[in-house]
Structure 1
């Protein structure tokens, strides 16, 4: 599945949910399915700056594709990271760099989040792009 297809699938899933309480619960449930990263990956280097909660993301490059692992000490950020990891993990650096984050607006997630959480979301998306650029340069 392409990144765009995964994004659309998530947009469609959110469209079936009624109000924001249902969407909030869905995000929390997604976070429960996120495999936690090991404690040795919970370093300052992997900590996303700008998030209200502690959010860690680690990336590895295998067979021309980037794979992400993430965790958070907050239930909502963990759910958001679960969405981002499921969409972007397993794709090439070029695919990630060429992608956008328009699906976030389509879901309406930014309007739902407080300003500080919206800033955290932007920090998460920037970090994914940063890893793609960094690994692209290493090639």
Structure 2
């Protein structure tokens, strides 16, 4: 189960046939994302396993998961934005029940990302799942 904001991306992707346009769409999602406070770009929030610099700052309030993030790469910022739309606003149990790989396959991302980007995306998902599992 993905958040409704992610379902909106899936619907948008149905109308965008060309992968280059989809790539630009993902980048735009990253540009539209609120900036992460530089004070939060510290080793504790850095995600290892990404080719780019990536920071994720999760919060859990009232059992609801949210996170903000940043990267020094435009496409990775877009991937962070996509993950935010996949997970933000879900309960901890819902976050753990999301099959991120299957959800992202609906966008065709697995076929069009380099192996380094795919590894980084997996590392971000693993970090989110770790944070939620530790909080549950």
- What is the TM-score of this pair, normalised by structure 1? 0.90
Deviation string 1:93-127 (CA, Å, 9 cap, x unpaired) is: 11100111112112110110111111111111111
- Alpha-carbon RMSD across the aligned residues, in angstroms, is 1.4
Map 1:18-29 onto structure 2 (within 5 A): 18-29=17-28
Query: How far 1:9 moved relative to its partner?
Result: 2.8
Give unmatched runs, 5+ long, in structure 2.
Answer: none
CA contact (8 A) 1:4 1:99 kept: no
SS where residue 45 of structure 1 aligns? coil
Q: How far 1:133 sits from its partner (Å)?
A: 0.5
Residue 30 (structure 2) pairs with residue 31 (structure 1): yes
Aligned length: 135
Look up the match of 1:15.
14
**Cα distance between partner residues in 1 of 2:6 and 2:57:** 21
Correspondence for 2:94: 95
1:38 Cα offset (Å): 0.8
The unaligned stretches of length 5 or more in structure 1 are none
Q: Does 1:58 align with 2:57?
A: yes
How do 1:52-91 residues align onto structure 2 when only pairs under 5 Å count?
52-91=51-90
Which portions of structure 1, spanning 4 or more consecutive aligned residues, are displaced by more than 6 angstroms? Answer: none
Partner of 2:114: 114
